[in-house]
Amino acid sequence: MASAAAAIDQAAPPKPVEESLWWDSFVTLFEELDAAPLSSDLPNRLVEKLKNNHAWFLSSVSGFRPPSQVSKAALDSPQISIGSHRLSVKPELKEVALRVGACLCLDEVQSYILVDRSYCA
């Protein structure tokens, strides 16, 4: 019976939320910056990444949103669609994300992304 419910959850379309809630992980970018040579020329790949994320760097803190009932409800879905990104909601991380969001006064989907990246890192 549990496997039938899991199959239904997997077949359900992802719950869409606002695309601006997503941001790319910067772990690799920070590692690449740290390893970059101390010269005036950065590798083209790294320059491109910096250019692609320029707006996010400028408004990094303002990119985080306050709690949202839409985002909180989206975490009840097995998958969330954030623009072109798909995120599978792991039940074991959901409650942690909700507590983090409540402590930080942060959007629940963004809290989930933080928790998911912290546990996967």
CA 84 to the chain's CA centroid: 12
Overall pTM > 0.85: no
Per-residue pLDDT band for 114 (boundaries 50, 70, 90) equals confident
What is the structure's pLDDT at 118?
79
Domain borders along the chain are 2-35+42-120
Please return the burial class of 6, using the count of CB atoms within 10 Å of its CB with bins 0-12, 13-18 and 19+.
exposed
Q: What is the mean pLDDT of residues 89-109?
A: 92
- pLDDT of residue 62 exceeding 90, the answer is no
Cα angle vertex 23, ends 35, 12, to 5°? Answer: 130
Q: What is the mean pLDDT of residues 12-22?
A: 87
Q: In Å, what is the CA distance from 13 to each residue of 27, 70, 81, 86?
A: 30, 16, 9, 10
Higher per-residue pLDDT: 17 or 34: 17
Lookup: tokens for 77: 């879905």
Q: What is the mean pLDDT of residues 93-101?
A: 92
Please return the burial class of 107, using the count of CB atoms within 10 Å of its CB with bins 0-12, 13-18 and 19+.
buried
Least confident of 1-10, 63-72, 101-110: 1-10
3 state SS for 1-51: CHHHHHHHHHHCCCEEECHHHCCCCCHHHHHHHHHCCCCCCCCHHHHHHHH
Per-residue pLDDT band for 120 (boundaries 50, 70, 90) equals low
- pLDDT of residue 121 exceeding 80, the answer is no
